[in-house]
Amino acid sequence: MSNTRTIARNAGWYGLENVVGAVVTLFTSIAIARSLGPAKMGYIIYVMWIASVVSGLGGIGIPATTSKYMAEFVGMGDRGTARYIYFRTLLLQAGLATLATAGILFWVLRDANSDYKVASVLVVISIWPAMVNSISAMANVATEELSRNMPASVISTFVYFIAIAATVVLHWGVVGVGAAFFSMRMVDFLVRFFPTLKSVLTWETTHVQPPGLSRRMMMFAWQSVASLIAALIVWNRSEVFLLKQLCSDIRQVAYYSVAFGMADRLLIGSTIFGSATSTTIFAQYGRDKSRLSAITASSFRYLALTTIPLHFISTALAAPALLFLYGDKYSGAVVVVMLAPLLCMPKAFMGPVQSLLQSTEKQRYEILATLLAGIIDFGVAWYLIPAYGAVGAVLGSGAAQVAACGMMWGIAIYLFKVKLPWRQVFKITFISILASLTAHYIAVQFTPLWGILLGGSASLVVLFVLFYVMRVLESEDRNRFQILIETMPKPLARPMNKIVSLLIHPAFATSECDK
């Protein structure tokens, strides 16, 4: 199977998984925010952020090692060694998860606010299944079978939805939110772990461990952890901690979280495509290293085609979307919500370049770039938060993301001679700015709902017309989009096929025929 087809297939499965999760979590987050209000939301968000940080920290080092080396050996056809790696990392992760959960639980029982103690304990206990679950998830990623991750994600998401609905209807408050969070993670673990274990057990048991494998895996794991510690500052909303410490208004934590929660929804497409591409990059390292640069450059181009327009248009429609979804009591977050889509856009481009550096075991450059960006984040946020609250936090995060993204892609260009399509990027950016201005001009004339509908529709018309006129898509795109379209249901595939045919300029079609 070609890399393009594999990426398309995995993008389809991973996309369906993420879309279901995004839709459900959007409704539940709105319900929680409206029910609890900014003040209560601020505290529970703080506790959930700490739990997520711990889970994420434990979910990168060993699980990333699982994904990288299982993919490498599966790509070489050596499933015996891949099986060995899975069980070795699973045991290590279970031990680490136990220590991490016990440590944070001790802190919560001693220091948590009495009104939030039960909810905080439930959130903290969820760390264990989340950390152990990451091994099975990465094992499925390593085999380029992302469809196996979908059942657990979908089922656990709906369990969370039902629990939150009950919390809102029965007024269970923060305890209900904590119980919903724990239930989601435990169900996700149980539904994913046993099928993955059963599948890996069918692989051959004999293997010859390559010389130096343990040393490589240990070095990679430590570098992954170091990379994540640095990344926590840049990518994982470390500003929540600074807001809690430097700003007396707890509502600013809620404003910041709501803004970035909305902006994170925009990253679904890039996360889907980036994850599918990353899986192929890891496997390609075991098959043929010479094609890594080309795959990475192509990934950047397709991310630019979708990400830049989406984030610019969303900036124009962010304020009416906030007021429509969350209500007037969150009006204090308007400026933050408008800044967040543009300032979190660099994150959309990180997947391919991070995978390139990780697959070639050059994570030290990723760590260095992220550390420098973290210093920028901490400095800007520390200076601005006392006076500007959530606005200062989002500016610090944005400055760091731009710096980290720029440095890492610069390193990739220098080390691997990755050739990025700068001319197309400038075209797409120019078109996106015009589409965004169109959306803003129309949206301000109407109520929030009508502003979103009419402004968004007009911006899409401008976007597609200018994509056609300025010849953004090329002839090679037709075949690649066709592969992706073939994975879609027929009712959706037909209109998508027509749109792609319309957007590719006739001049390209003619030149392709002449060839």
Task: Note the pLDDT tens digit of each residue in 370-401.
Answer: 888 888 888 998 999 999 999 999 999 899 88
Residues 193 and 248 in one domain: no
Q: How many domains does the structure of the chain reveal? A: 2
- In the block, residue with structure tokens 């209500």: 327
Helix H or strand E segment including 238: none
Q: Cβ(483)–Cβ(298) under 8 Å?
A: no
Q: What is the pLDDT of residue 426?
A: 94
Q: CA nearest 423: which of 465, 461, 470?
A: 470
Residues 9 and 68 in one domain: yes
What is the DSSP secondary structure assignment for residue 46, as one 8-state letter? H
Residue 507 within any structural domain of the chain: no
Residue 275: partners with Cβ closer than 8 Å, 6 or more residues away? 10, 14, 141, 146, 351
Q: What is the pLDDT of residue 513?
A: 36
Average pLDDT per 10 consecutive residues for the chain, totaling 515 residues: 52 54 68 70 70 62 75 81 87 86 83 77 88 86 73 86 86 85 92 91 79 73 63 66 82 85 78 62 64 83 89 94 86 91 90 83 82 87 91 91 92 90 92 96 93 95 90 72 63 71 59 39
Residues 320 and 192 in one domain: no
Quote the Cα angle for 380-386-241, to 5°: 75
Q: What is the pLDDT of residue 512?
A: 39
Residue 77 within any structural domain of the chain: yes
Q: Return d(Cα 123, Cα 112) in angstroms, integer.
A: 12
- Residue 115 tokens read as 């009104």
Q: Return d(Cα 52, Cα 61) in angstroms, integer.
A: 15
What is the DSSP secondary structure assignment for residue 147, as one 8-state letter? G
Residue 259, classified by CB atoms within 10 Å of its CB into exposed (0-12), middle (13-18) or buried (19+), is buried
Q: CA nearest 296: which of 236, 358, 344?
A: 358
Residue 214 within any structural domain of the chain: no
Residues 151 and 234 in one domain: no
Residues 76 and 122 in one domain: yes
- Residue 293 tokens read as 């640069």
Helix H or strand E segment including 112: none
Q: Classify the C-alpha dihedral 208-209-212-217 as positive or negative.
A: positive
Helix H or strand E segment including 77: none
Residue 430 within any structural domain of the chain: no
**Which amino acid type is present at position 461?**
V
Q: What is the pLDDT of residue 486?
A: 64
Q: Cβ(318)–Cβ(335) under 8 Å?
A: no
Q: What is the pLDDT of residue 194?
A: 92
Ramachandran region, residue 171 (left: φ > 0; alpha: ψ -120 to 50; beta: rest): left
Query: Cβ of 57: how many Cβ atoms within 10 Å?
Result: 19
Q: CA nearest 269: which of 510, 496, 15?
A: 15
Residue 302 within any structural domain of the chain: yes
User: Which residue range(s) make up the domain with 150?
Assistant: 1-203
What is the DSSP secondary structure assignment for residue 250, as one 8-state letter? T
Residue 28 within any structural domain of the chain: yes
Name the pTM for this structure.
0.65
Residues 194 and 256 in one domain: no
Q: What is the pLDDT of residue 456?
A: 94
Q: What is the pLDDT of residue 392?
A: 92
Residue 69 within any structural domain of the chain: yes
Residues 378 and 239 in one domain: yes
Residues 9 and 147 in one domain: yes
Residues 391 and 284 in one domain: yes
**Of 402, 420, 438, which closes a domain?**
420
Helices (H) then strands (E): counts for the chain? 21, 0
Q: CA nearest 432: which of 336, 349, 315?
A: 315
Residues 100 and 69 in one domain: yes
Residue 506 within any structural domain of the chain: no
Residues 188 and 264 in one domain: no
Q: What is the pLDDT of residue 461?
A: 94
**Of 145, 170, 203, which closes a domain?**
203
**Which amino acid type is present at position 404?**
A
**Of 397, 420, 443, which closes a domain?**
420
Residues 57 and 8 in one domain: yes
